[in-house]
Amino acid sequence: MREKTPPPAIDDLLAAASEDHLRLLESGGYPAERLREMGTTEEGARQARALLTSVPPADETAADGTTLAMLDALSEENRRRLVDASGFGMDALRKLAASGSGARYVRKLLAEHTDVLDVPGESRGARKARRLRFLTEGTPDGPGPGDVVSGWLIMLAAGLVGLVLCAVLTAWIGALTILVAVLYFAVVLSWAGGKVRSSRGSGPALAVFTIAFLAVVAMVPFRTQDWYLAARGVQAQATVVAPRATWSHGHKEEFCQVRLPDGRVRQTEGNDSTCTTAVGSTATVVYDPSDWYGPRFGPSSGNNVDISGGVAVAALVALLAAPVWAVSAARKRKTTSL
């Protein structure tokens, strides 16, 4: 018949415990000397071993007050359950709940040994989600409004900075900006998304925000010039001059050039094959007075920005609305009844 393995000695458990663990027990009224004294009786030794092996390490942030409020509002029955399960008195549990190191331990006790998280008529899935939020966030209904707002502000700022960055880079690298957008999304926006606290409505809001961001950055490299010229461009009559010739891989390429009304000669953005035979003639162009973009043949009404601009504006509105909706939904969360 197999012999039962004797339980570990209290001194061995004390030697194996971390300094943070021992400080946590001491703050709850259980210094090493008292634990050794408890080890002189069978029941006391069982309780001391439970304390030395069940309390988590000090790696949690302090509770936001919800856990402490729950302790103060406990019924006599729940208090008795808690004291029996932990071996701590209520004063010691309050000290633990107010410290960063003991917050998670007290939340675990409340979730497993009391009925404070129960809501009449709530489904099993909802109860499980409520318990998980309480264990990880410190409140049954998720993070507080301040945490939700700060997370979404970071996300919104990261998204807007990304859009502005892509729009500016388009003037220098054109369609290659799409690669920058993908890299920005994979690194910066993913990091910012991690700052968004899980709350009611945060999942759908993140999905809308992500889709809206991708929709805008997908158009920015190809439509920024159209949007800019439609807003800032000047329509004028320009004189077609001799094209600029370059050689690439042994092939000659010619690029149209025009003389603007102010005398500047600029290469056009869109090449027109007729410009090589139209030197000296005049043509309608739209040009940028700030010289960010080269002139383009055709009237200002021909930039075809209505559809793309409408889609971009709608996506931008969705991008701005998603955080507002998520914060509003989080503020409307129900307060758990104790």
Q: How far is CA 311 from the centre of its chain?
A: 25
pLDDT, residue 63, reads: 42
Number of neighbouring beta carbons within 10 Å of residue 75: 12
Instruction: Give the pLDDT score at 161.
Output: 94
Task: Give the rounded distance of the alpha carbon of 41 from its chain centre.
Answer: 52
Burial class (CB in 10 A: 0-12, 13-18, 19+), 44: middle
pLDDT at 289: 84
CA dihedral angle for residue 208, residue 212, residue 214, residue 218, rounded to 10 degrees: 160
Q: What is the mean pLDDT of each run of 10 residues along the chain (338 residues)?
A: 68 79 68 84 78 53 62 87 86 79 80 83 77 71 73 93 89 83 91 83 89 90 79 86 77 84 83 71 86 79 67 91 88 48
Q: What is the pLDDT of residue 29?
A: 66
Sheet containing strand 251-259, strands side by side: 265-267, 251-259, 234-248, 282-287, 296-297
Locate 32 and state its tokens. Answer: 């090493």
What's residue 137's pLDDT?
65
What pLDDT does 301 receive? 59
Q: What are the tens digits of pLDDT across the range 186-238? A: 999 999 988 887 777 788 899 999 999 999 988 888 777 777 887 788 888 99
